């Protein structure tokens, strides 16, 4: 089950199509969805989580808490809509493209993709691009 929660005035358009897209990406990678909770919030909300749980006093676009067991994907993914908007401008992409990239980024982490080393970052970006190519709406 994929649930979208809102702690900011933002509302995700096309929730059903987005759920179907995430499910396809997960299935294509040989995993199943348990429970994924997306929480869309602002910078302040996410900053507090970053400080409290990760001891990082910085702004970020996404924090994910992984509860995956084996091939059953579960977790909570917090996304700052403000950071996504800023990053979209900085990277010169649409807000929707950046939002979907961040959304799938969290799920890819649950499937074992990393992004600490340069090699891992390339693999993560390739997986993000492959997932984005499946998005239809």
Residue 7 structure tokens: 């702690």
The reply to whether 109 sits in an annotated binding site is yes
- Dist. CA 137–CA 116, nearest whole Å: 32
The reply to whether 66 sits in an annotated binding site is no
Tell me the DSSP string of the chain: -EEEEESSS---S-HHHHHHHHHHHHHHTT-EEEEEEEEEE-HHHHHHHHHHHH---S--SEEEEE--BTTEEEEEEEEEHHHHHHHHHHHT--HHHHHHHHHHHHHHHHTT---SSHHHHHHHHHHHHHHHHT---
Contact (Cβ atoms closer than 8 angstroms) between residue 108 and residue 131: yes
The reply to whether 47 sits in an annotated binding site is no
List residues forming the annotated binding site for Zn(2+). Answer: 105, 109, 115
List residues forming the annotated binding site. Answer: 105, 109, 115
């Amino acid at each position: 089950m994929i649930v979208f929660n809102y702690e900011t005035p933002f509302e995700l358009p096309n929730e059903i199509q987005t759920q179907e897209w995430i499910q396809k990406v997960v299935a294509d990678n040989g995993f199943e969805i348990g429970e994924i909770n997306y929480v869309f919030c602002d910078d302040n909300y996410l900053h507090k989580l970053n400080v409290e749980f990760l001891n990082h006093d910085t702004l970020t676009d996404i924090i994910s808490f992984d509860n995956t067991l084996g091939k059953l994907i579960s977790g909570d993914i917090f996304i700052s809509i403000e950071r996504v908007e800023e990053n979209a401008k900085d990277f010169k992409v649409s807000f929707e493209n950046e939002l979907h990239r961040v959304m799938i980024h969290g799920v890819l982490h649950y499937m074992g993709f990393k992004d600490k080393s340069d090699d891992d970052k390339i693999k993560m970006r390739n997986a993000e691009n492959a997932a984005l190519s499946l998005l239809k709406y």
